[in-house]
Structure 1
Amino acid sequence: MVPEKIYVPIYKKILRSKSLRLKVLSILDFFPDKIMIKIQYFMYFGRVADIKQPKRFSEKLQWYKLNYRDPLMTKCVDKVCVRDFVRERGLSDILTTEYAVYHSAEDIEFEALPEKFVAKYNNGAQRNLIVRSKKDIHKADLVNKLTSWMSAPLSKLGREWSYYDVVGKILVEEYLEPEEDGDLTDYKFFCFNGEPMFLYVLKDRFLNDGLKLGVYDTQFNKLDVYRAGIKKLHQGLAKPKDFERMLDVVRKLAVGFPHVRVDLYNIDGRIVFGELTFYDGSGYISYEPDEFDFKVGSMFKLP
């Protein structure tokens, strides 16, 4: 089998080191948002973003970052505060068990925690420590990693304003056991004016072959669409148990926002809240075929 070719954005070809890319973005923090967003968009796609009259989803997300500022969005991107938002929407049953919230990693009562848990920094993506067994990790290592996340200077990066005023905390919560196939499937619903229109299904995040992504409609039919830069999920999947309840949950969480992505898990029929995000991939997303960017853009009615 020929290895799958993964799309590489222009900026990654120029600046191959991720740490170097982050340093460059930090240095350019003083640039106005509108200018920096146009630079970043061009560096990713090799084309100029039309923000005045956007038609693509990737362009409309840039408009959204620049022009739509509902204070509730800051609450919803905070992994601690969003739990209150979920409760306010009458959905406390989909929340994971919360063990503790800390303002400093030094305060973590390691001995009091269960054998398995997840420790999350509440601001930003990919800042989760999954502990499957306490014997496999030292408290000092846990504290050092979380402290490094909390002490890192706040960079504007993708110019996603809703993260700027989040007060740093550490959430320690329940570890979700994988499904029978050893995986934990992630369902990401794209909603526009409170209505889910399509979803990503992510599989194999923790398995040897690596993360794969498929795109489905809200009847759970697999679409011939792929997110560039992530391995393709080729096989069709069975509709999850209580899928209609998932859609109902999504609608309750999405109402009131022009656009939000609602992430859920479904573990043998148990629906579990993941997170809310307003700027998938910071808007720097490429689809195969490219026409899907326009199709999703037509779903997104800018306020």
Structure 2
Amino acid sequence: MKNLRQMISETYRETELGYYMLKPFYGLYEHGLKLVPDEFIVKRSFKKHMGYSINLDNPLTLNEKINWLKLYERKALQTKVADKYNVRDYIKKTIGDKYLIPLLFHTKNPKEIRKNSLPNTEFIIKTNHDSSGGIIVRDKSNVKWKKVRKKLKRLMKQNYYYSTREWQYKNIEPRIIVEKLLTYNDGSIPDDFKLHCFNGKVAFVMVDIGRHTDERCRNLYDKDWNLLPCNWGRPNGDDIVRPSNLEEMIMLAEKIARDFTYVRVDFYSVEGNTYFGELTFHHASGFQKFFQEEWDYRFGSQLKIPTAYG
């Protein structure tokens, strides 16, 4: 059952009445967050979500190390490539523009998101500075565009750094992007292949199955496509067939990952073709439990981070 805090948050973010009623209180809350040190927020949030205190002096688990990197590894390049618009230039230079999902429209003004501004095809609307799933449009004539513009206007005003302390989001200039919607031949949304890279090499592949459905699940595989006996955040789904382009995805992910200690490189595999999704530097903000705790330690031992506070 959802707790009161979750209900209030969803009311604020998902309903128009809730947004305007709670906006003054959220404004004060967000202003207060800006005054709180990053380390305090990380320690408090980690204890709340994980159930134990983080050890920043000697982090051992993968979640601990992700939070250590959140606080102490901050590169200008991270801001550029966490931006879902600006990352396109980085991907073009690193692995080639043939792996980019076609960009149909972009703007900094939510008022420009209108039926007549957008193409007669299926697409997804998202902002470049957050982690929301986006708005899927199959038929633009059936969309309540005024409601969409209101939602985007709210998203454009949010800065996710202050609640998560994921530094790369702090200075991204908000923008709305519209991309072609990738689908399988039957019209379903493709699975999401998330390649977690440690020190420039793929450590494991996470596959999100049934995204945008109520039956979403998740499998973890090693590089040889052996299903790992662990769950991270979601239950397992049915074992899926090894993708024909697995080696290509691994090769591309490692080209991208060589610039970072830890990064999650997302791809979609559609009818044998590989498309780049996004880069994530702190999966689930480092606050997601493994169903089997030993795997948090096992993966943590594989990720080598710089000397503490170095």
TM-score (ref. length: structure 2):
0.87
Aligned to 1:5: none
Shift in CA distance, 94/295, structure 1 to aligned 2, threshold 3 Å: same
Go from structure 1 to structure 2 and tell me whether the alpha carbon gap of 1:255 and 1:42 turns closer, same or farther (over 3 Å shift): same
Task: Indicate which of 176, 185, 209 corresponds to 1:203.
Answer: 209
Partner of 1:57: 62
In the alignment, which residue of structure 2 is the partner of 1:133? 139
**CA deviation vs aligned residue, 1:170-192 (integer Å, no higher than 9, x gap):** 11111112354834101000001
Written as runs of structure 1 = structure 2, the 5 A alignment for 1:65-214 is: 65-108=70-113, 110-115=115-120, 116-126=122-132, 128-152=134-158, 156-180=162-186, 182-207=188-213, 209-214=214-219
2:34 maps to a residue whose letter is D
CA distance in 2, matches of 1:109, 1:181: 24
Q: Distance in 2 between matches of 1:63 and 1:152?
A: 24
Deviation at 1:74, TM superposition (A): 0.3
1:246 has 2:266 as partner: no
User: In 2 relative to 1, CA 225–18 (structure 1 residues): closer, same or farther, beyond 3 Å?
Assistant: farther
- Over 3 Å counting, the alpha-carbon distance change for 1:48 and 1:154 in structure 2 is closer
Alpha-carbon separation, structure 2, partners of 1:143 and 1:84: 27
Q: Is this contact kept in 2: 1:122–1:168, CA < 8 A?
A: yes
Read off the aligned partner of 2:112 and give its amino acid letter: D
Residue 162 of structure 2 aligns to a residue whose secondary structure is coil
Question: Structure 1 CA distance, aligned partners of 2:302 and 2:71?
Answer: 19
Match of 1:3 in 2: none
Runs (4+) of structure 1 exceeding 3 A deviation are 12-16, 20-25, 152-155, 178-181
Aligned residue for 1:177, secondary structure, equals: coil
Q: Provide the C-alpha distance between the structure 2 equivalents of 1:101 and 1:151, rounded to a whole number of angstroms.
A: 17
CA deviations 1:140-180 (Å, max 9, x no partner) are: 22222211211236661111011000001111111112354
CA distance in 1, matches of 2:219, 2:185: 18
Deviates more, 1:178-187 or 1:261-270: 178-187
Equivalent residue, structure 2, for 1:32: 37
CA distance in 2, matches of 1:76, 1:167: 12
Tell me the secondary structure at the aligned position of residue 267 of structure 2. Answer: strand
Alpha-carbon distance in 2 for matches of 1:222, 1:181: 27
**Alpha-carbon deviations, 1:56-110, whole Å to 9, x = none?**
1111111101100111000111000000010010321110111122011112353
**Distance of aligned partners of 1:154 and 1:262 in 2 relative to their CA distance in 1, 3 Å threshold:** closer
Match of 2:303 in 1: 300
Give the root-mean-square deviation of aligned CA atoms: 2.2
SS of corresponding position for 1:252 = helix
Structure 1: stretches of 5+ with no match in the other structure: 1-7
Instruction: For 1:201, give the aligned amino acid.
Output: V
For the pair 1:221 / 2:226, whether they are aligned, the reply is: yes
Counterpart check, 1:271 vs 2:253? no
Residue 248 of structure 1, CA deviation: 1.1
